[in-house]
Amino acid sequence: MAEPADAGTAVGWTHSDSLPAVLAAAGCSLLVSTYQAGQLVGIGVANDKMTFSFRHFQRAMGVAVDPPEASAASGPGDARDSGISVGSRDQVWKLRPARDLASRIPPAGTYDAGYLPRSSTFTGNIQSHEIAWGTDEAGVAELWVVNTAFSCLVGLHPDVNFVPRWRPPFITELTAEDRCHLNGLAMRGGRPGFVTMMAPTDRPRGWRELPKNSGVVLDVPTGEVVTAGLTMPHSPRWHEGSLYVLNSGLGHLQRVDLDTGRRDVVAAMPGYTRGLAIHDGLAFVGLSRIRETAVFGEVPLAEFHDQLKCGIGVVDLSTGTTVATLEFTSAVEEIFDVQVLPGVRSPALSGPGSEEIWVASAPQRPPA
């Protein structure tokens, strides 16, 4: 089937018969960023059929579901009253929830949650990758951004482009030279726990000069290597006492033994794995086709270039079985991030370039 994207290009897609039931049983929907196509996509289910909401964000990258806003209607783990943060080419967008408007968006009754851009913070082109919410020492929510250009983790600030918060111990200075290609962040207990990078090097763009299997996972509090020898790793995640990572160049979802650094393959996927969300015992894994460039030329998946798929694989973590799939068949070639919207059946998105106008149902009275 095909669905018009925000920029007007029709996106072709197909999915396994099981996907609507899997999402419904898990009580969630998905957010997917496609940086190559410049889209944020809301994926859900209504009337037993898949729903898609495409919105243009220039070079959409990391996505984070914000801490929920106070609402008596919001249940446990319900994202209908949470906002969304989206990292793009040179800014981080804030989308606020518009739950009351969602049900009126045509076709009426299709959507149960809506998200509308209200503001953005200009960061400059720092090549931001993953973003994630945590809490500071006082328990206040704060957003962490992977600043790939400057090889560090940063926070946002109204007076400057970013505030450096942590950098790998081997990075000797903050400079926009993409030295190690820091790209993924796993939160643990509300604080940064683990990061992924292409290679632990301090030379300008030094990761490009090393073998493709030079990737590592670093422990953020200690700065020590947890596991090494990964091929272009992405998307570390801490879930129920276990560390997961995507060994992207092999197309693997892997579980890491923190004591030994050993990695066990949970599932092998038919694509370059990048973007991971874990919910209700399921791993939602982003899959990309790879470009025929020097960056990807030596990865093992390159041998199967024509067979790779772009989309999402849903893996049962207890068995490693792929229980559902979604494939983009045209217009979208690469996925960066995948996030879950718990408690949301079918999300509607608005974007900074959207021609839709979302208006409150009742007129607001001017002050007396």
- As averages over each run of 10 residues, the pLDDT of the chain (368 residues) reads 63 96 98 94 96 95 86 62 95 94 90 95 97 91 97 96 97 97 97 98 97 97 98 98 97 98 98 98 96 70 88 98 97 96 96 70 52
Q: What is the CATH number of the domain that holds 108?
A: 2.120.10.30
CA 308 to CA 270: how far, in whole Å?
A: 5
pTM of the model: 0.93
pLDDT of 299 reads 85
Residue 138 lies inside a defined structural domain of this protein:
yes
pLDDT of 292 reads 63
Cα 54–chain centre separation: 15
Distances (CA, A) of 193 to 80, 99, 137, 181, 220: 27, 33, 15, 18, 5
Return the biggest CA–CA distance within the chain.
71
pLDDT of 16 reads 98
**Residue 64 main-chain phi, psi, to 5 deg:** -140, 135
Please give the single-letter amino acid code of residue 358: W
Element counts in the chain: helices (H) and strands (E): 2, 27
pLDDT of 312 reads 98
Q: Which of 39, 22, 96 is nearest to 65 (CA)?
A: 96
Which of helix, strand or coil describes residue 248?
Answer: helix
Residue 244 lies inside a defined structural domain of this protein:
yes
pLDDT of 339 reads 98
Task: Give the other-Cβ count within 10 Å of 25's Cβ.
Answer: 12
CB 198 within 8 A of CB 207: yes
Residue 92 lies inside a defined structural domain of this protein:
yes
CA 72 to CA 249: how far, in whole Å?
A: 45
Residue 361 lies inside a defined structural domain of this protein:
no
Total domains in the chain come to 1
Q: Which structure tokens are listed for 14?
A: 């197909």
Q: For tokens 């009351």, name the residue.
A: 100
Residue burial 34-53, b: 16+ Cβ < 10 Å; e: rest:
bbbbbbbbbbbbbeeebbbb
Residue 68 lies inside a defined structural domain of this protein:
yes
pLDDT of 8 reads 54
Residue 274 lies inside a defined structural domain of this protein:
yes
Q: Which of 184, 185, 164, 191 is nearest to 175 (CA)?
A: 164
CB 243 within 8 A of CB 191: no
Q: Which of 24, 21, 59, 25 is nearest to 40 (CA)?
A: 59
Domain residues for the domain of 36 are 2-349
Residue 365 lies inside a defined structural domain of this protein:
no
CA 42 to CA 57: how far, in whole Å?
A: 13
CB 155 within 8 A of CB 187: no
Residue 360 lies inside a defined structural domain of this protein:
no
Torsion of CA 120, 177, 256, 282, to 10 degrees: 30
Q: Which structure tokens are listed for 59?
A: 């070079």
